[in-house]
Structure 1
Amino acid sequence: MNYSTAKWLIGILSVIAIATTAMLFYSDHVGVTYPLLEAVYKPIIFITLMPVLLLIIGLLIAQGKKEEKISTKSLGRSAIVIAALFAYRWMTGYFD
């Protein structure tokens, strides 16, 4: 994957996640609840922010290795980093 494609994808998915979060917090601040928004909030965040995290870490690894494109090896390494962070969270309860 080209760096520019990854950056565009990161930007688009981040905007979706940030807009959804802003709408949820604003509606909570105003005192209006939208049941549909509250029901789809966690799936939207999980579907958008997990690939963003994967791409950001893969982009950093590929740039650190001075690769011309983001390879599947870099994305695999970023998946290992994410899995290690979740394992750390699960084992220690640090982020609770």
Structure 2
Amino acid sequence: MNYSTAKWLIAILSVIAFGTIATLYLFDQNGSAPPLFITLFKPIIFITLLPTLLLIIGLLIAQGRKEEKISSKSLRRSTIIIAALFAYRWMTGYFD
């Protein structure tokens, strides 16, 4: 994947995620959050922020190794980093 494609995907997915978070925050402040929106909040966040995190870490790994494109090897390494963070959270309860 080209760097420019990854940057565009990161931008689009993060705007969707942070727009959803901001909308829920505003609804919560007014006390009028629709139940359907609250139900769809977590799936939207997981669908947008997890791939964004994966692409950001993959982009950083590829740039650090001076690759011309983001390879599947870089994306696998970023998946391992994310899995290690979740395992650390699960085993230590650090982020609770």
TM-score (norm 1): 0.99
How many percent of aligned residue pairs carry the same amino acid? 74
Q: CA deviation at 1:44?
A: 0.2
Question: Which ranges of structure 2 fall in alignment gaps of 5 or more residues?
Answer: none
Q: State how far apart, in whole Å, the 2-side matches of 1:44 and 1:62 are.
A: 27
Deviations 1:62-90 (Å, cap 9, x if unpaired)?
Answer: 00000000000000000000000000000
Residue matched to 2:85: 85
Aligned length: 96
Distance across 1 between alignment mates of 2:76 and 2:18: 26
The letter of the residue matching 2:52 is V
Trace 1:25-36 onto structure 2 (pairs within 5 A): 25-36=25-36
TM-score normalised by length of structure 2: 0.99
Please identify, of 9-18 and 28-37, the stretch whose mean Cα deviation from structure 2 is larger.
Answer: 28-37
CA-atom RMSD in angstroms: 0.4
Q: Give unmatched runs, 5+ long, in structure 1.
A: none
**Which residue number corresponds to residue 56 of structure 1?**
56
